[in-house]
Amino acid sequence: MKLVQDISIQQQQKLLMTPELRQAIAILQMSTLELNEYIQRELEENPFLEEKEAEENVDYEKEAADNSDNSKLEDWLDYYNDRDIGFLNREAETEKSFENFFARRPSLYEHLEFQLRLSCKNRDELVIGNYLIGSIDNNGYLGMDLKEIASHLEVNLEQVEEVLEIVHSFHPHGVGARDLPECLLLQLKHYGKESFLARVMIEQHMDDLARCRLNKIAQALSVPVHQVQEISDLIRTLDPRPGLQYSNINEIKYIIPDVFVEKVEGEYIVIVNDFHFPRLMVNQLYGNILRQPDSFPQDTKKYLEDKMGSAIWLIRSIEQRRMTLYKVARCIVDIQSEFLDKGIEFLKPLNLRQVATIVDVHESTVSRATTNKYIQTPQGLFELKYFFGVGLESGYGREKVSSKSIKRKVEEIIAEENSLKPLSDEAIAQLLKKRGYRISRRTVTKYRQEMGIPATTSRKRF
C-alpha cells in the first residue's frame, strides 16, 4: 500500500464554547445570592461596570445619536433602549437602627468556658476544665482519654474526673460524654427521668432500641413490652448530638426565593426576584475615553475594548437569565395551576422535555434554569426541581398522577392507621388500588423509605 500526502476539504459542525458563552451558562445556573456575589466581584474588577443609582435618568437615545460613530457603544445603547436597567429603589432599603444589629451567638467552646469560669473554685480546676472543653468536638463528645489528659497536665486522674463531672452539669445537657450511652444517661439524670430499666436498655440494648425490637428487649429483661415502649419513647426525645446546638453557627444559610408567584384577580402572576443585586450600567467616563481612540496606546485601547465587551456581555447575560427563568417559571405555573389552587394531590407529572418544548429551549437550559432555584407560591416555598417528577398510571381512565401525590397518599394512609395493627406495604398498595391508583407493593416500600417512614414492625405500638 502506497502512502501519499494529500490536502482535502471536509465540512464539520462544531460547537465552540467561548468564554462569553461559558459565562452566560454559569450565570443562568446561579441562584439569586450567588449572582449577587458574582456581580459584586465584577463591579470591583471591571472599571466599565458601575451600579446605576435610582436618581440617574440617562437619555440613551440622545447618547446614541451623538455617538453613532462608536459601534460598540451604539450596540450597547440600542440593546438597552427597550429596558431600563437602572431601577433601584433606595427608599425601600432598611433604615439603619439599633434593632437591625444583633450579637453573635457564642460558639460551643465559648458557651462552655463561660459556665466553667462560674463553676470552678480554683486555678487548677480552671486549667483542667479548659483542656477538657478544648477536647470536646462539634457533636459535644470528649475526644481524649482521661488518663492521657491527666498525664499531659501532670495532675491526678481523680482531679480530671472531678472536673469532668462539673462539665457534665453544663448546658447543653449531655456535653462532655465519651460515648452515646453516657450522653443519653447524662440527659436523663438532668431531667430527673433516670431509672434502672432505662440505664440497662441504654447500656445493653442500644442496637435493639435503634431497630425498634421492643419485644426482644422485653423478653430479655422480663418486663412488659408496653413498659419498654414507654422508656423507648422517652429515649427518643433526647439529643444524641448536643454540641450541634452551638456548632456551625456561621454556616446558617437562608433561602431567598428566585421567583415569586402571586394570585391577582384570579390569575397567577410570576415575578423574577432581581431586587437583591444591583442594576448595572456602563461607566460613562470610560465610555467617553473609548470614543477617543487616538489619545492612548494600542495596548490600552485593546484593554478598554475587552473590558467594554465584557461589561456589555455580563449585562446581557443577566437579562437573558431573567427572561429564561421567567419563561420556565411561567410554564411551570401554567401546568401546575391546580397544584397552586388545591395542593399536592393535584401535582401533575412533568419532565424537562415538556417544559423545553413549550419554552423552545434545550433541556439542558431548563435544567440549569431550575438548579438551586426556589419559588415562593401560595402553597409554600419549593425548589423548582420539585415540580418535576415521573407519572404513574391511575385507574378508571384517569390521567397519570405525580409520584409526589402518591407519596402524600401513602403518608396520609399511614398517619390514619391503627398503631396497634399498622398496615403492611401490601395492604397500603391495596388501599391505593381501591382509590384508583395502580401501584405495587415494592413501589410503596420505595416511597416509604424515601420519606423516612419506618417499616410495619417499627411503627407498631403496644
User: If 0-12 CB within 10 Å is exposed, 13-18 middle and 19+ buried, where does residue 88 land?
Assistant: middle
**What pLDDT score was predicted for residue 322?**
92
**What pLDDT score was predicted for residue 104?**
63
Look up residue 177 and give its amino acid.
A
Output the pTM of the full model. Answer: 0.64
Write out the H or E segment, with its range, that includes residue 342.
helix 337-342
Give the β-pairing of 391-392 and 49-51.
unpaired
46-50, 217-221, 437-441, range with greatest mean pLDDT: 217-221
Q: What is the pLDDT of residues 408-449, one digit of tens each?
A: 888 888 888 888 888 888 888 888 888 877 888 888 888 888
Q: Residue ranges of the domains in the chain?
A: 108-245, 334-459
Are 308 and 293 contacting, i.e. CB atoms less than 8 angstroms apart?
no
**What pLDDT score was predicted for residue 167?**
93
Report the range of poorest mean pLDDT among 80-89, 190-199, 310-319.
80-89
* pLDDT above 80: residue 318: yes
CB contact set of 330 (below 8 Å; sequence gap of 6+): 270
Q: What is the pLDDT of residues 123-150, one digit of tens each?
A: 889 999 999 999 999 899 998 899 999 9
Q: What is the pLDDT of residues 386-401, one digit of tens each?
A: 998 876 665 544 567 7
For the chain, what percent of residues have pLDDT higher than 70? Answer: 83
Distance CA 14, CA 452 (A): 47
* pLDDT above 60: residue 62: no
Instruction: Give the per-residue SS3 of 294-322.
Output: HHCCHHHHHHHHHHHHHHHHHHHHHHHHH
From the CB of residue 17, how many other CB atoms can be counted at a distance below 10 Å? Answer: 8
Q: What is the pLDDT of residues 78-133, one digit of tens each?
A: 433 333 333 334 344 444 454 444 456 788 889 999 999 998 888 889 999 999 99
Average pLDDT over residues 30-54: 84
Look up the CATH superfamily of 334-459. Answer: Homeodomain-like (1.10.10.60)
**What pLDDT score was predicted for residue 103?**
55
**What pLDDT score was predicted for residue 14?**
66
**What pLDDT score was predicted for residue 198?**
92
Q: How high is the mean pLDDT of the chain?
A: 81
